[in-house]
């Protein structure tokens, strides 16, 4: 089937599933063309639409999708989207759209929602976390003509497609969710085989707010979708809808989305009573820090950035013997490539401790040390990452604030930030 509708298949270092996306486009009459992140940006205007594929862009360093979201190509895709062209982000592509602020598309352009670690919840108990793959049922929860990627479905029609991700849980503040529902931006929701929306596992496979599987921007031409419609002909309707949208000259909606967030609060870090800290450095090159540093330099910041892992360990007697037991397990750091260090203190440097609000890894390590290694003295473990920012030139406070505003270090919806004095 031939087509004049050229679709740029956007690929970053670490992307995959482009072959499946090519096949899905061909099946519905779209003409896919591979487009690498470092190709000339002016060539993007030659396309009728864009698909950001799944995978692990930049190896998900710092946070899934965030480095790619700051790449110049995304800035140009934002320009194309404003002209009405459709943009679909699948899995990692969805994470990129969320981290870039293109979805949900707040007027001020800031990051408004989050995609974070899966939590499989049944009867109010977490029965599993992390990576999960399955076939999921999705129902259309907006009028089909509301979004570029639902136009060929019937109201409340369901599709059955695969999902495979570790950070696919949509987090949306309740007040913003109400506005998105009113705006008809909650495009696809997880349901059972009968189309019933049940907010627990296995119907909701990752604990997403409102059973969200895909959301769009106010105009309806940009959608972030965590499951994989390209991996099965069951998902072809998503791509045929995209084609119909283009064939009808990109009929975008006139909705807008406003929401005021409180200023990100950064407190000074204070350790808990009866706790000890481990600051872990790497012997080998820290590729996460290198990638984040390169991203900040590409944004024009003359900075040097390093990263350390932070463990705060509370125990009943706070003794060295407990720490020695933990060290012997190898659970909290790998002595072959890591070592216990201390917080970096140097001129023109600020250190920020970033902790996930759910702290899934900290909880799992606590459970392992108590149950597997029988170290009963431990009462709590918190895990975090310390980012050390050294400003080499320019106004120190101004550049620190600019870097924090990129949200490259943390998403305030799912992480807490502390300044280490």
- Identify the three-state secondary structure at position 212: strand
Torsion angle, alpha carbons of 400, 406, 407, 412, to 10? 90
The DSSP annotation for 111-146 comes to ---EEE--EEEETTEEEEES-EEEEEEEEE-S-GGG
In contact, 151 and 145? CB cutoff 8 Å: yes
Quote the CA–CA distance of 307 and 408 in Å, as a whole number: 13
Element containing residue 292 per DSSP (H, E):
helix 287-298
Question: Are the C-beta atoms of 187 and 150 separated by less than 8 Å?
Answer: yes
Total residues belonging to the chain:
421
25 is catalytic: no
Residue 147 annotated as catalytic? no
Known catalytic residue: 107?
no
Query: Cis bond leading into 104, ω under 30°?
Result: yes
Catalytic residue among 18, 20, 80, 230: 230
- Helix (H) and strand (E) counts in the chain: 10, 20
Residue 157 CA to residue 140 CA, distance in Å, equals 6
Under 8 Å between Cβ of 53 and 23? no
Of the candidates 18, 20, 80, 91, the residue annotated as catalytic is: 91
Catalytic residue among 80, 191, 216, 228: 228
Sign of CA dihedral 268, 272, 274, 279: negative
Cite the active site residues: 91, 228, 230
């Amino acid at each position: 089937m031939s087509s004049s509708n050229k679709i740029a298949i956007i690929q970053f270092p670490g992307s995959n599933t482009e072959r499946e996306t090519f096949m899905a486009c061909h099946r519905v009459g779209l003409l896919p063309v591979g487009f690498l992140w470092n190709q000339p940006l002016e060539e993007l205007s030659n396309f009728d639409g864009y698909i950001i594929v799944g995978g692990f862009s930049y190896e998900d360093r710092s946070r899934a999708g965030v480095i790619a979201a700051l790449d110049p190509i995304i800035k140009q895709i934002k320009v194309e989207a404003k002209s009405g062209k459709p943009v679909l982000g699948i899995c990692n592509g969805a994470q990129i759209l969320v981290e870039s602020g293109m979805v949900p598309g707040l007027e001020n352009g800031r990051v408004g929602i989050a995609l974070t670690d899966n939590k499989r919840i049944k009867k109010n108990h977490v029965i599993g976390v992390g990576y999960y793959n399955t076939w999921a049922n999705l129902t259309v929860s907006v009028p089909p003509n509301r979004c570029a990627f639902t136009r060929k479905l019937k109201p409340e029609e369901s599709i059955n497609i695969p999902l495979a991700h570790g950070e696919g849980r949509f987090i949306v503040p309740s007040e913003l969710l109400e506005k998105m529902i009113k705006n008809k931006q909650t495009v696809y929701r997880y349901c059972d085989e009968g189309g019933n929306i049940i907010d627990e596992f296995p119907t909701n496979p990752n604990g997403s707010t409102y059973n969200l599987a895909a959301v769009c921007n106010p105009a309806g031409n940009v959608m972030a979708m965590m499951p994989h419609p390209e991996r099965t002909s069951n998902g072809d309707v998503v791509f045929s809808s995209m084609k119909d949208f283009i064939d009808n000259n990109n009929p975008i909606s006139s909705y807008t989305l406003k929401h005021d967030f409180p200023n990100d609060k950064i407190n000074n870090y204070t350790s808990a009573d009866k706790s000890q800290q481990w600051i872990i450095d790497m012997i080998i090159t820290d590729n996460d820090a290198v990638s984040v540093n390169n991203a900040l330099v590409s944004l024009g910041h003359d900075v040097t950035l390093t990263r350390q892992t932070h463990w705060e360990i509370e125990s009943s007697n706070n003794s060295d013997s407990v720490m020695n037991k933990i060290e012997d397990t190898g659970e909290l750091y790998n002595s072959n490539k890591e070592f216990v260090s201390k917080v970096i203190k140097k001129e023109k440097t600020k250190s920020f401790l970033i902790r996930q609000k759910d702290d899934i890894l900290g909880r799992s390590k606590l459970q392992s040390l108590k149950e597997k290694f029988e170290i009963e003295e431990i009462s709590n473990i918190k895990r975090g990452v310390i980012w050390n920012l050294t400003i080499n030139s320019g106004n120190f406070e101004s550049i620190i604030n600019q870097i924090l505003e990129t949200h490259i270090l943390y998403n305030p919806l799912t992480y807490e930030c502390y300044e280490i004095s």
